[in-house]
Amino acid sequence: MDPDTTPGTPPADEAGEFLSLLHGALRTVRREAGERLEPAGTTPGQFRLLRFLSRCDEPCRLGAVATALDVAPRSVTSKVDDAEAAGLVRRTPDPRDRRATLVELTPRGREVVEQVGAQRSSSAGTLLARLGPQDRQELLRLLRAVAGDPPA
């Protein structure tokens, strides 16, 4: 047994390789995401905001958006500013609280979410197509285990 390893913990070289491979895979995903999002006039962080808003049944308060995205309220404010300038979202006063502002997608924002979502699925499919069906299932199973998600 490696003296630097505690029981149940992978050796440092395995942990290092895992992190290196994970970072490499995420870099590829981020690069491809940037390439898909640029023509749509948005960024990965802004798209995350748009995707969240697309799942809301009604306009949301900025504070609720910040909480849901786990970011500082000032980050949401700047993302909303940029998205509003691009015509992707609109702010409206909260009818229940004059001090609060609500944000919602515009029709153009919905188009961007649909367009990029379709491209994103296609891109992920291309990456997964490098593997055979059994390997894809195994990769997903292992990622769920690493992420702490229950098996599907």
Which residue from 59, 110, 60 is spatially nearest to 87, judged by alpha carbons? 110
Which has more pLDDT, 12 or 103? Answer: 103
Q: Does residue 87 have a pLDDT over 60?
A: yes
Q: What is the pLDDT of residues 60-73, one digit of tens each?
A: 999 999 999 999 98
Distance CA(138)–CA(127), nearest Å, equals 15
What domains can be seen in the chain, in order of their start residue?
13-147 (1.10.10.10)
